[in-house]
Amino acid sequence: MPKPDLLEFFDSPSDDAFVIEHISEEFTSVCPKTGHPDFGNVTLRYAPAAVCVELKSLKMYYQSFRNEGIFYEAVTNTIRDHLAASMSPRWLQIITDWKGRGGIKSRIIAQYGEVPAAWARG
């Protein structure tokens, strides 16, 4: 079961806005319909306000989905909700890229807040 309480945070090293991206290439959960495992990449992009997420705790949080039966769209929105609620960032985006099922590859994008104009070309 996804465990958001595994997430740990540290103070942002700058009062200015900046952008952080963490790409996990080792995400797996289980399809609730077929029981087969799903595999994907999870990209987290955010502009921290007061805190940043600690990298190892993020990895442990992602691992808590390993044997969870959950659809692509729900994985994406759940991670967005957990991270937005616990970090209150200036902006946050979750992108999940899933390996093909039946010849179809999928990608889901959920967001919290709007990307600041200054960063639009980052």
Active site residues: 31, 38
Q: How far apart are the first and last CA of the chain?
A: 34
Q: Which residues lie near its own copies (CB under 8 A)?
A: 10, 12-14, 16, 18-26, 28, 36-37, 39, 52, 55-56, 58-59, 63, 66-67, 71, 73-74, 76-77, 80, 93, 95, 99-111, 114-115, 118-122
Determine the Cα–Cα distance for residues 84 and 93; give it in Å rounded to an integer. 9
Instruction: Using the minimum distance from each CB to its own copies, give the nearer residue, 87 or 110.
Output: 110
Instruction: Using the minimum distance from each CB to its own copies, give the nearer residue, 65 or 86.
Output: 65
User: C-beta of 5: minimal distance to its own copies in Å?
Assistant: 19
Instruction: Using the minimum distance from each CB to its own copies, give the nearer residue, 86 or 113.
Output: 113
Give the closest residue to 46 by CA, choosing from 93, 4, 82. Answer: 93
User: C-beta of 3: minimal distance to its own copies in Å?
Assistant: 15
Structure tokens at 45: 């992009």
User: C-beta of 30: minimal distance to its own copies in Å?
Assistant: 9
Determine the Cα–Cα distance for residues 87 and 52; give it in Å rounded to an integer. 7
- Do 58 and 22 meet the contact criterion of CB atoms below 8 Å apart? yes
Determine the Cα–Cα distance for residues 85 and 1; give it in Å rounded to an integer. 18
